[in-house]
Structure 1
Amino acid sequence: MSIVSILGLTLRIPTRLRGRPATVHAATDVSLSLEPGRVHALIGESGSGKSVLASTLNGLLPPGTIARGTVEVDGVDVTPALGHPRHRAWTDLRGRVVGSVAQSAATAFTPMRTVRSQLAEAVDALGGLQDPDELAATASLPAWALDAYPHELSGGLIGRAALAAALAGQPSVLVADEPTASLDRSLATRVLSLLREQADAGVGVLLITHDLGALLDGARAARPLVDDVSVMYAGRLVEQGPADAVWTNPEHAFTRALLAALPRNGLHPVPGDPPALTDLDERVRFEDRLVAP
């Protein structure tokens, strides 16, 4: 049974561009589900709309968002609450059902307090059952790092601290937005392994990432790091399926281009430029970028 079910989600966010009203086509007809015990990777270019789905599940879409489709989290229909960050529907979900590892882990912490004090505050606020030391052990964060200030920790350590914070409320869904950004391959693999461990404990994980190299390395492990893959282009999901099928036999031209851009596959740049989502032409397709001007 799905812990998260997104069906036909279309998001339009009003903004202004060069002083004039404009609309961000953040997501169009997106359907995606998260299952307990599985890691679902969401990949695509920067600006394609991936992080908007993280904001959707955390109840952080900006006011004024126009939504169609449905979003259910742990059996709760949160569609009416989309674009209303203070809606009461998020009170019992945010942190307790949906834990979030922020895209920039360092900014998730107050610089003037130790990691331990901030984890303790999160546990207290969310009614968690694990103390900071137990959370640190779960996230493979050394005990000494708890008594450090965030700026004293390396990128890998602060990332694990952010994971520990996301687990403070013992959520059944974990959303990790670019958790391996700026990490070397060994640290990236360790972070992904930690997410795999959470999935194996029954959590449904949404992994938003550009790090296809680490995902492919993980595919060769005895226990693959990722179970399912969705590929996003210009606010739409253009390919979905089991990870091994997507890696070995991609069906969409955009997926093939992403994989071809990896060093191991010849480092072929993805042709053309990603389309801007502001006032997006609904007819846009990746294949248009393959046609020489």
Structure 2
Amino acid sequence: MNEQILRALDSVTAERAHDAVLGVRDLTVRFRLRGGRTVAAVTDAAFDLAPGECLALVGESGCGKSVLASALLGLLPRNAETEGTAWLAGETPPGDGRGALDLLAADERTLARVVRGRRIGLVPQSPAAHLTPVRTVRAHLAETVRTLTGTPRRARRAAAEAAAERAAFPVGHLDRYPHELSGGLAQRAATALALIGDAPVLLADEPTTGLDRELVDRTADELRRHVDTGKALLLITHDLAAARRVADRVAVMYAGRIVEIAPAARFFGRPGPRHPYARGLLNALPEREFTPIPGLPPELSRLPEGCAFAPRCARATGACEVRPDLRAGVACHHPHQDAEGADRA
């Protein structure tokens, strides 16, 4: 990919950030533990999400992706503490003239009545836990249609079936209860519910878990169509193939921090990721080098003072004893500068 195209991609990304519908700045989430200790699961996360854009948040399990998502919707447990700001454009509490709603400062009533489902749709990581066990999938869909769209009763059945079709949920299973669903079917039911309200922002936490490759592609394509209607999508996933199919930009998390943000075309093509960890994720794929990253992620309660990836990184030097900031899209003292190790898109 030539430099002129890359500059054009960067220009588009900057323009979308300027018109962001969701903005996150210095978001930190800590959990209070017994004995007075605290563990930081997310540290200083910052990004913007624009209408018509998908940002894929990727990284190994336990890196803080789902905690970040829960913080945005006020779904953290009671022992969690948050700092920073996360604002949602176009929604303000009565009497507030700022033009945006601070999600971290909003009370439960505002989040429940204004945000969840209406302004931010959610595909949860564990969908079965979010489905009422005594109601069928059809009943879930019909009730969500009624609540979010005000569709007349006589039209709700058709609307529920249309929602199921969008998420590739088989109509013949609509009258089943949650405990009668496989993990993949529960995932598709949750996706159907999240798409009903056409919320300006969709937060999808591992929406392809439990699906075979064909359904992964179909789900990814439906999410892309949703984005192409002007909606914003924050896709949390460990499936880099799904991310490549949907994303406009990619944000990589490691040990609670975002270590790289890049346009998807640059990330998956040339010159490729700049952070050694991000490049290692791609090189671990079977279609790439199929080489795993050596070592294990650090425990969040025992993070080093410097770069958390340094113990696993072949490029580490004494400079990595100082924690790098996220500058020019990458938090690394020794970032890759060329197409080394990256495949052409």
- The alignment's TM-score, normalised by the length of structure 2, stands at 0.75
Could you say which residue in structure 2 is the equivalent of 1:12? 30
Q: d(CA) in 2 for partners of 1:56 and 1:67?
A: 8
Contact 2:21 2:88 in 1 (8 A): yes
Contact 1:59 1:90 in 2 (8 A): no
Contact 1:128 1:170 in 2 (8 A): no
Contact 1:99 1:171 in 2 (8 A): yes
1:247-269 superposed Cα distances (whole Å, 9 cap, x missing partner): 22110000011111111123211
Query: Shift of residue 7 of structure 1?
Result: 1.1
Greater shift in the superposed pair: 44-53 or 177-186: 177-186
Q: d(CA) in 2 for partners of 1:107 and 1:64?
A: 20
1:285 aligns with 2:312: no
Output the amino acid matched with 2:130.
Answer: A
Query: Shift of residue 235 of structure 1?
Result: 0.9
- Count of residues in correspondence between the two structures: 279
1:1-293 equivalences under 5 Å are 1-16=19-34, 20-74=35-89, 75-81=100-106, 86-129=108-151, 131-216=159-244, 218=245, 225-248=246-269, 249-278=272-301, 280-290=303-313
Greater shift in the superposed pair: 87-96 or 183-192: 87-96
Aligned partner of residue 287 in structure 2, secondary structure: helix
Q: d(CA) in 1 for partners of 2:192 and 2:290?
A: 35
Q: d(CA) in 2 for partners of 1:49 and 1:288?
A: 19
Give the unaligned 5+ runs of structure 1.
219-224
Contact 1:14 1:23 in 2 (8 A): yes
Query: Shift of residue 50 of structure 1?
Result: 0.4
Could you say which residue in structure 1 is the equivalent of 2:332? none
Query: Shift of residue 286 of structure 1?
Result: 0.8
Mark the structure with the bigger radius of gyration. Answer: 2
Query: Shift of residue 279 of structure 1?
Result: 5.2
Contact 1:172 1:203 in 2 (8 A): yes
Aligned partner of residue 10 in structure 1, secondary structure: strand
Contact 1:24 1:280 in 2 (8 A): no
Whichever structure has more strand as a proportion of its residues is 1
Q: d(CA) in 2 for partners of 1:60 and 1:155?
A: 22
Aligned partner of residue 158 in structure 1, secondary structure: helix
Q: d(CA) in 1 for partners of 2:242 and 2:85?
A: 32
Contact 1:8 1:31 in 2 (8 A): yes
Identical amino acids, percent of aligned pairs: 47
Greater shift in the superposed pair: 86-95 or 182-191: 86-95
The CA RMSD over aligned residues, in Å, is: 2.2
Q: d(CA) in 1 for partners of 2:185 and 2:120?
A: 22
Q: d(CA) in 2 for partners of 1:77 and 1:98?
A: 13
Aligned partner of residue 243 in structure 2, secondary structure: helix
Contact 1:40 1:206 in 2 (8 A): yes
Q: d(CA) in 1 for partners of 2:240 and 2:178?
A: 28
Greater shift in the superposed pair: 282-291 or 166-175: 282-291
In structure 2, relative to structure 1, the CA distance for the partners of 1:27 and 1:180 (3 Å cut) is same
Could you say which residue in structure 1 is the equivalent of 2:335? none
Contact 1:229 1:242 in 2 (8 A): yes
Output the amino acid matched with 2:257.
Answer: R
Output the amino acid matched with 1:243.
Answer: A
Query: Shift of residue 87 of structure 1?
Result: 4.9
Output the amino acid matched with 2:58.
Answer: I
Give the unaligned 5+ runs of structure 2.
1-18, 90-99, 317-345
Q: d(CA) in 2 for partners of 1:255 and 1:281?
A: 19
